[in-house]
Structure 1
Amino acid sequence: MRIGTLDWVPAADRPELLAAPVARALGGLGEPAGEVAVAAIDPALADTAAFCERYGVALEDSANCVIVAARRGAETRYAAVMVLATMRADVNGVIRRQLDARKASFAPQADAVAMTGMEYGGITPVGLPEEWPVLVDAAVAARPHVVIGSGVRGSKLALPGAALARLKTAEVLSLAQ
């Protein structure tokens, strides 16, 4: 696989480059796990714009995972939202309605890190709590390959967009503004 200037290897061969929940989830994916590659990066360059510039990855080949807190009454539910780096997630429109919430917002950083067991800037939909929906923008699902977080800031995953759409709790929608 060739995306940017990175040296990609099968993720299953380099579990030390993954957050523990991500490594466990890849083991449970079965056949799609073979489609997932990992590459080590400078942790200081994990944020999308810096990463893409340094490693020659097109923004449209990079997808961001944001954790959304959806509230209705006293109940708060969480979901992961995947959009291309060139797009903005419509949190207060499509996503709020999809999650049947009165209010939706980005989850506080400390909460997202604590609940996922992943590092901020590396959170990924692979390995999230099983009850969380994963809302995948249709443009992400259509990409032949997307680069996403690995659960840590020191590496990235690359996989077909369709593999994200096959995650157990994934729903493919038009989520971007």
Structure 2
Amino acid sequence: MFGALGYPLLYLASIGHLALGARGQSVQVVDDPLSRMLRQTRPFSFEPVARVAVDPVALLVSPLDIGVALVLAALVGANLAVAVVVWRSPAACGVERSAGLLASVPALLTGATCCGPAILFVVGVGTAGAGTGVLLTAVGYATPVTALLLVGSLILVTRGTAAVRTDG
């Protein structure tokens, strides 16, 4: 259930599109939302086209960012489900228990996608020197790297279980 609802909310909050503290109820839409929703604000993050406030929550609606959050949530949920199934009955799946842990690692690493910039800010990346620009650029690409890791993890675990079923 966390993957379906909780992860997208956490992702949107971490990129600054969901916040507490709104008062009242309102909906505001930008001019020409179709063209503005395609504008990138940073790598793999797009401009919001509306603001919806319902006391006490405010949501900046960026359809592409919401799509990214839902895709990552589905991948995280699938990886955690595979990890639980493999952990509970590794013999039936034809893999070792460590495969379940392997499947869950990318799911846990997705925190870098949304929380990485905040962590770097807290530890003082601004004072780190010349490597700061490279580090911040790398963090900007954490979203696609995370998605690739999650998909790769699913492929590795399902290949292992499919090979055992065809052999046995």
Task: Name the structure with the higher strand share.
Answer: 1
Shorter-chain TM-score category? Answer: under 0.3
- Tell me which of the two structures has the higher relative contact order, counting C-alpha pairs closer than 8 angstroms and 6 or more residues apart: 1
Normalization by structure 1: what TM-score?
0.24
Which of these two proteins has the greater Rg computed from alpha carbons?
Answer: 2
